[in-house]
Amino acid sequence: MQVPILKQGAYLIASIQSALSDADLMQLRDALVAKVSTFRSRGVIVDVTVLDVMDSFASRTLRDLVHMIQLRGATTVIVGIQPEVAFAMVQLGLTLEGVATALDLEEGLAYLDLKTIKKVSNPRDG
């Protein structure tokens, strides 16, 4: 199942709708990394609220995605990890090191606003 990638101002929002296969995850990663430069986005939000399982492949792919997007000049934040999922992940040692996380979409947007404000902003954007 494909993950819709929405453009919202200077940000891209990938909202995962159902459980993803490994192939879906890699496809999401490639699509996001490509679209960051297409839309010249400053920030990316990946919403994983619906995932009730996060295995080692998924968390590694997400970490790679975050680092790749960083190399392309944008900031990524993962939002909506469920409490049970979070604890299961750390028990497996999947701590998403170096990856920004936030509670939900709103918090993620606030985080990106804070992080990307330091970069040169267009006066016309307000």
Per CB under 8 A, residues contacting other proteins are 79, 81, 83-87, 89-91, 95-96, 101-104, 107-108, 111
Least separation in angstroms between residue 122's CB and other proteins is 26
Q: Which is nearer to other proteins, 33 or 85 (CB)?
A: 85
Write out the H or E segment, with its range, that includes residue 126. Answer: none
Closest CB to other proteins among residues 48, 74: 48
- Distances from the Cα of 121 to the Cαs of 69, 83, 125, in angstroms? 19, 35, 7
Cβ contact 32:67 at 8 Å: no
Least distance (Å) from other proteins to the CB of residue 99? 9
Task: Name which of 69 and 108 has its Cβ closer to other proteins.
Answer: 108
CB of 101 to other proteins, least distance (A): 5
Measured from the CB of residue 70, what is the shortest distance to other proteins in angstroms?
Answer: 18
Cβ nearer to other proteins, comparing 43 with 108: 108
User: Residue with structure tokens 């992940």?
Assistant: 89
Q: Residue 125: beta bridge partners?
A: none
Place of tokens 């990638």: 5
Per-residue tokens: 32: 């996001």
Task: Please report the sign of the dihedral spanned by the C-alpha atoms of residue 106, residue 107, residue 110, residue 112.
Answer: negative
